[in-house]
Structure 1
Amino acid sequence: MGSGEQWRALEELFHAALERPPEERAAFLDQACAGDAALRREVESLLAADEADAEAPGAGAAWDRVIRDLGAEPDLAARVQAALGGAYRIERELKAGGMSRVFVATETALKRRVVVKVLAPRLTADLDAERFKREIRIAAGLQHPHILPVHSAGEGEGLLYYTMPFVEGESLRSRVDRLGALPLTEAARLMREIADALAYAHRRTIVHRDLKPANVLLGEGHALIIDFGIAKALSVAAEGITPAPGVTSTGFVLGTPAYMAPEQAAGDPVDHRADLYALGCLGYELLTGRPPFVEDSAHAL
């Protein structure tokens, strides 16, 4: 498991398995691994690590630990601090998950807390940093009360990172997992806020591509969409990468299967309608406590 593309393929399969109930994962891996015993062992080790992690449960903790065990940066915080210089002071690591490690920091000039998201080095070694930063600058122009803005993006010490405000609160993913379906009035209000934010971004031809409960924070009870434009930035930065089996032509899985429009899952070009499809899936889950489609594999979805 040496190349960035292979790591991304492993990560995709791990998260796809994690989205399924434990009793369905074996059947999913039977199909998804297609007889690749080594790949299956690696995915199963990630799943076992996730279940065993009592201190910080969730996909991020397991993914972080296994990446470290397989030779990734053992003390990324120090490297991030060196990349940030004196502009920010790292306080603690908040979580790791998806393709990023997330740190809470203080912006020294303004004395405000921010989140620093660092793209996992082993997963982004082949990216074009200038393309990534250019796309992030476009996303940073979004100014809407229900979109969490990107403050800045940068590169240093071989790392790609971006910063955003720190929000006290939880994600919609955590809220639904904790309490189940939301009351109708609350779900309707949040859906209006999210839809308004999407309409604003779409008028500026910016598509999220990975709208899901985990990418909506609740700040003072109101919806805040995070990571707007990040999927597009990764896609553009990855142009020219030769994909590994099971990975999109960019080398990145741009979206989450349970919320992904059919054309997006097929690897076809997408526009704002992919976000509207995801919005419908999200609304269904807010009202019922579960996604509209649950299958044994990403392909089946």
Structure 2
Amino acid sequence: MKQQVLIAGRYRLNTTIGRGAMGEVWQAYDEMVSRPVAVKLLHSQNSEPTATARFRLEAQTAGRLSHPHVVGVLDFGEQEGRLFLVMELVQGDSLAYVLTQAGSLPAEEVARIAAQSAAGLAAAHQQGIVHRDIKPGNLLLDADRSVKIGDFGIAQFMNDPSGALTATGQIVGTSLYIAPERALGQPAGPPSDVYSLGCVLYQLLTGQPPFRASSPIAVLHHHLDTAPVPPRELGVGLPPAFENYLLSLLAKRPEDRPTAHQVAEWFASGAWRGRPEPLPAAAPRPEPEPRLTAAWDAAAKPRTNAAPSPAPSSGPGSVTTYAFPSSATVGSTAPAHRTRRRQRTGGRAVAAGRSKAVGTVAAVLIFLGALLVGLAWFSPDHSSADTSPTDPPGSTSPATATP
């Protein structure tokens, strides 16, 4: 359009900010409430048979959402045979443009984008809406770098599968970011959006989507059968917690992925940085041993630099100063009661030793006496056999039986 056009008597179109197969997006100004807006116009002669229905569906689905991280729909109508959709104007660029400029983003920036994008998806899922086309071009950054999810043109109500507006066997979405179950022709669900978000985050970190191939069909096969390469193997400095959680978003089975609400909370909490294990509880400190008396404590200290003690003074108001005994004095002058106790203890020890020695000697003497008595009793002079006086020494007579 060469000149400014007024839509619905209030939206003045200024410049074109985007074009697509279905229509074009204009930066406009709402003269009724004095604010900038974005106006999406459907092409007047669109060749796609479902374009009008999809355009109405976008207005219906996005109009049900009111969330800080979703592009808000303000108005919908028709003028001169062209449908228009008035939306919140996002003063920033899409993530697709950011990737072309930066190539990749640091982990902290990607974590913030992940938390906000997942929060917007969680709000849509709560309203029964599946976006079905999460990709860098549909995630916008406003002036303060806050994420806004846009383009609900192919969104689907979960309780109305016919809302997909696709022919049998047709897959709607971008193959680089499509979930495995959708590659199999199964209906999209909230886990499908989570998978697509995981693909976007992977590309923001590494500069490339998780799977690439020469054709869309080959890419779909990778989504079904190939495990993504961990970002750290591509040289990305990433906390292990972040990488592990990102790979869980790319799980092949929908039931193995976290929900959008869980993703938003996990990244917003800072858990992606990884938390160290809690330290073990400190062992209880032992009780301090009782201190010695002042005299003993002072006496144990070296007195090489000690000043001489002043003489006691008895004058009024004078302070009496006591000289602590030296270590030699303390070691040589034990209290009297300790000396007496040692003497008593030593005496008892000596007496006990003497008694034990006497008992041992007596036992030995008794044993020797018993041994001598036994030898004398069983000697030849006291045998029960008679010995002849004429027999030579050393010879014995036959034993005589008793009558």
Q: Residue 147 of structure 2 corresponds to which residue in structure 1?
A: 223
Asked whether 1:102 is paired with 2:55, we answer no
**Deviation, structure 1 residue 101:** 0.9
**1:133-144 superposed matches below 5 A:** 133=56, 136-144=59-67
**Aligned equivalent of 2:167:** 249
Aligned to 1:300: 218
* Larger deviation, residues 133-142 vs 84-93: 133-142
Q: Give the SS at the match of 2:14.
A: strand
What is the CA RMSD across the aligned residues, in angstroms? Answer: 2.9
Unaligned runs of 5+ in 1: 1-74, 240-247
Please say if residues 75 and 86 of structure 2, whose CA atoms lie closer than 8 Å, have aligned partners that are also in contact.
yes
Instruction: Describe the shift of the 1:253–1:91 C-alpha distance in structure 2 as closer, same or farther (beyond 3 A).
Output: farther
Letter in 2 for 1:191: A
Matches within 5 A, 1:121-132: 121-123=44-46, 126-127=49-50, 129=52, 132=55
Deviation at 1:141? Answer: 2.0
CA distance in 2, matches of 1:95, 1:128: 17
1:210 aligns with 2:128: no
Question: Are the equivalent residues in 2 in contact too, given 1:259–1:281 (CA < 8 A)?
Answer: yes
In structure 1, what is the Cα distance between the partners aligned to 2:65 and 2:184? 28
| SS of 1:123 mapped into structure 2 | coil
Distance in 2 (CA, whole Å) between partners of 1:198 and 1:114 is: 23
Cα displacement (A) at 1:150 = 1.2
* Structure 1 position 268, deviation (Å): 3.1
Give the residue type in structure 2 aligned to 1:202: H
Residue 158 of structure 1 and its aligned partner are, at CA, apart by 2.3
- TM-score calculated relative to the size of structure 2: 0.48
Aligned counterpart in structure 1 of residue 15 of structure 2, from 75, 84, 92: 92
- Structure with higher helix content: 1
Task: Tell me, in whole angstroms, the C-alpha distance in 1 between the residues paired with 2:90 and 2:198.
Answer: 25
Aligned length: 215
Structure 1 residues 130, 211: closer, same or farther in 2, change over 3 A? closer
Q: Which residue of the partner structure matches residue 205 of structure 2? A: 287
The equivalent of 1:181 in structure 2 is 104
Following the alignment from structure 2 to structure 1, what is the Cα–Cα distance between the partners of residues 169 and 19?
Answer: 20
Q: Compared with structure 1, are the counterparts of its residues 148 and 88 closer, same or farther at alpha carbon in structure 2 (3 Å cutoff)?
A: same
Match of 2:121 among 183, 198, 203: 198
| Alignment check: 8 A CA contact 1:284 1:292 kept | yes
Counterpart for residue 272 of structure 1: 190
- Per-residue deviation at 1:266? 4.4
Q: CA deviation at 1:144?
A: 1.1
Q: Which runs of 5+ in 2 are unaligned?
A: 220-403
Matched, 1:162 2:85: yes
Tell me the amino acid that sits aligned with residue 106 of structure 2: P
Residue 263 (structure 1) aligned to one of 181, 190, 193? 181
- Kindly indicate whether structure 1 or structure 2 has the higher relative contact order, using CA contacts under 8 Å at least 6 residues apart: 1
- Distance in 2, matches of 1:140 and 1:113, equals 18
Provide the TM-score with structure 1 as the length reference: 0.63
- SS of 1:190's equivalent? helix
Letter in 1 for 2:146: H
Counterpart amino acid of 1:231? I
User: Secondary structure of the residue that 2:71 maps to in structure 1?
Assistant: coil
Q: Which residue of 1 aligns with 2:155?
A: 232
Distance 1:253 1:285, change over 3 A: same
For 1:119, give the aligned amino acid: L
- Give the whole-Å Cα distance in 2 for the aligned partners of 1:129 and 1:99: 9
After TM superposition, give the deviation of residue 207 of structure 1 in Å.
Answer: 0.8
